[in-house]
């Protein structure tokens, strides 16, 4: 029903939104009344997703510093404001520490960690100019405990968790909230990196007995993006079906 959305009047930028969790968040946010802006490096999927949810798409590699300025300028030029940033783009590789090359380390840190830092730095001033905002950084349960099979990925997701806390304290006086979300095993393209048998391999570790649908993460991200979470900043929000370690 128009006028009743939980993100009514808000302008949201979601990275890595061509598919998976980002695309689901874009659809849910739009259904809740937000104007949504999507970025990704998968341009065909990105344009199709944006068209399907009634949003706008732009190519942007989150590790590209100049591209962040252009992306925030694009949103503000189109919509006049920026209220929500979801730093969702990420890459995942199953490689243990002893096999991790410096190249792999840099590639994963550039997208998953540097991309989040650049996004917060570029978006925060536009949010302050809009009277405040909410930044939701997508980490992982790999940023809550050990990640022995995906070493660089785990390091990048702990970096997201740590910088979210620091940014939350820095930006709180300006009315910008920052939180991290820590999904467990989510049924998207990414998890197939574990192998074709990922469902059989990983499900026994999940107390709720199943992987999550992207929608189940998106509903938590929606809460953090909306004013319903007005007193929440600087913390970790886990959505993992009860995984202990």
Ligand X SMILES: NC(=O)c1ccc[n+]([C@@H]2O[C@H](COP(=O)([O-])OP(=O)(O)OC[C@H]3O[C@@H](n4cnc5c(N)ncnc54)[C@H](O)[C@@H]3O)[C@@H](O)[C@H]2O)c1
Residue among 41 and 109 whose Cβ is closer to ligand X: 41
Instruction: List the one residue from 189, 196, 197, 200 that touches ligand X (CB under 6 A).
Output: 189
> Should residue 47 be labelled a site residue for ligand X when binding is judged by CB under 6 A?
no
Residue of the chain from 11, 12, 22, 226 that contacts ligand X (CB under 6 A): 22
Those residues whose C-beta lies under 8 Å from the C-beta of residue 197, and which sit 6 or more positions away, are: none
Vertex 237, ends 235 and 243: CA angle to 5°?
130
Q: Does 161 bind ligand X (CB under 6 A)?
A: no
Distance (Å, rounded) from C-alpha 223 to C-alpha 239? 13
By CB under 6 A, tell whether 236 contacts ligand X. Answer: no
Minimum CB distance to ligand X, residue 145 (Å): 13
Q: How far is the CB of 157 from ligand X (least distance, A)?
A: 7
Q: With respect to ligand X, which residue has the nearer C-beta, 16 or 133?
A: 16
Residue 89 binds ligand X (CB under 6 A): yes
Distances (CA, A) of 97 to 19, 55, 112, 168, 202: 29, 40, 17, 30, 21
- The whole-angstrom distance between residue 146's C-alpha and the CA centroid of its chain comes to 21
Nearer to ligand X, 134 or 188 (CB): 188
Q: How many whole angstroms separate alpha carbon 116 and alpha carbon 188?
A: 21
Residue 120 in contact with ligand X, rule: CB under 6 A: no
Q: Considering CB under 6 A, how many residues would be counted as binding ligand X?
A: 28
Active site (annotated) includes residue 153:
yes
Comparing CA positions, the residue from 241, 242, 237 lying closest to residue 224 is 237
Burial zone of 4 (CB within 10 Å; 0-12 exposed, 13-18 middle, 19+ buried):
exposed
Rule CB under 6 A: which residues touch ligand X? Answer: 15-16, 18-22, 40-42, 61-63, 88-92, 111, 138, 140, 183, 185-186, 188-191
Active-site annotation, residues: 153
């Amino acid at each position: 029903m128009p006028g009743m959305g939980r993100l009514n009047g808000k302008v949201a930028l979601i990275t890595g939104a061509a598919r998976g969790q980002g695309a689901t968040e874009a659809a849910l946010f739009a259904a809740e009344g937000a104007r949504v802006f999507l970025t990704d490096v998968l341009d065909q999927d990105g344009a199709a997703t944006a068209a399907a949810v009634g949003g706008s798409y732009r190519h942007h590699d989150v590790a590209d510093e100049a591209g962040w300025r252009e992306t925030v300028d694009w949103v503000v030029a189109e919509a006049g404001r920026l209220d929500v940033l979801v730093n969702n783009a990420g890459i995942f590789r199953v490689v243990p520490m002893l096999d991790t090359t410096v190249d792999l380390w840099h590639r994963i840190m550039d997208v998953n960690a540097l991309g989040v830092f650049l996004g917060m730095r570029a978006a925060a001033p536009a949010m302050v100019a809009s009277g405040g905002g909410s930044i939701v950084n997508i980490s992982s349960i790999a940023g809550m405990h050990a990640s022995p099979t995906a070493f660089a990925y785990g390091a990048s997701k702990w970096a997201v968790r740590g910088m979210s806390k620091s940014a939350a304290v820095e930006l709180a006086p300006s009315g910008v909230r920052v939180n991290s979300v820590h999904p467990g095993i989510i049924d998207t393209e990414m998890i197939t990196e574990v192998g074709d048998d990922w469902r059989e391999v990983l499900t026994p570790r999940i107390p709720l007995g199943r992987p999550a649908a992207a929608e189940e993460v998106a509903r938590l991200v929606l809460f953090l993006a909306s004013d319903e979470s007005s007193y929440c900043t600087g913390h970790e929000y886990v959505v993992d079906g009860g995984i202990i370690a």
